[in-house]
Amino acid sequence: MRAGGHRGSDGVPAASASAAYGNASPERFILSRRYAAGTGGVRGLLITVLGDYVRPTGQPAPTSAFIDAMGRLGVEETACRQALVRAAKDGWLIPDRAGRYTWWRLSPAFAQFLDLGAARIFGFTGTQPDWDGQWLVVVAQAAESNRAGRYLLRTRLRWAGFGNPAPGVWVSTHADRLQEAQSVLAEAGMRESAHVFRSEYVAGGDLPALVGQAWDLGEIEREYAAFRAAFARRPPADPLARLTRLVHAWRGLALIDPALPAELLPRTWTGVRAAELFRRRHAEWEPAATREWQRISSQAR
């Protein structure tokens, strides 16, 4: 029987309810989620582990499984425990105590967030097929006093695939991301002062030149080259480590590549070949990694 405020041996308060945000307030969850997609370091690896192994089954996992999996990725036990505790405080995870051990399950809100992320990651092909020529244009400039809003606008719109060809102007070839753009503007406190358009290129300068101003395609191409070099060679023997590193690296590419239509990309663009490599490696490595996760997460140690 769980007593209110009781703590497990992991030092984490036991969850008392299955609220959408776990033990966090909706405000704290939204604030933490703003940065989750692009988080690096230990929290970024934890997101990848949660998305790869916990999200598909919906089953809770013990602390020992995370320590084991994260340790194979070079993360110290203390850092792993701290990341789990912070994730619970941010409403990503709900801790449940069973005897001496703590088990972690996804909060409903974070499970939904990971589902959306998985759709983006596994649906990402390096280009945008069947473009109809429509652009989504956001005209927004944060006030000098709204530094947090300016940072959020820049990072979240870039994660959504928008480019910035001129100050205060953001463009995307994904006209269906209107709701995502409006959500970013609302969170940045700029919904009432911004303007959003659906438009079509009619005449003027060279479109590839505009693309070059809006996005750093050279940097993205270098990241693709590094990805292909890393995962084309003989993989590590550890099934968990190799799959997690593969998905983690691909998640990073899906965040920085706007997935432009082929007609706007250089003829030498390697994004499509990198996407084919990702799909091939994932199909090869996922079954063994899933079996290994099931083995280490079936009981607490």
Instruction: Provide φ and ψ at 15, rounded to 5°.
Output: -70, 140
Domains observed in the chain: 1-131+216-301 (no CATH), 134-200 (3.30.70)
pLDDT of amino acid 156: 85
Closest CA to 88 of 46, 121, 128, 126: 46
149 vs 81, residue with greater confidence: 81
The secondary structure of the chain in percent helix, strand, coil, rounded to multiples of 5, reads 55, 10, 35
Tell me the pLDDT of the chain averaged across its residues: 86
Q: What is the pTM of this model?
A: 0.81
> What pLDDT does 230 receive?
95
Q: Average of pLDDT values for 193-221?
A: 92
Q: What's the whole-number mean pLDDT along residues 12-38?
A: 47
What pLDDT score was predicted for residue 12?
45
Rounded CA gap, 221 and 126, in Å?
11
The pLDDT tens digits of the residues spanning 247-287 come to: 999 998 988 899 999 999 998 899 999 999 999 999 999 99
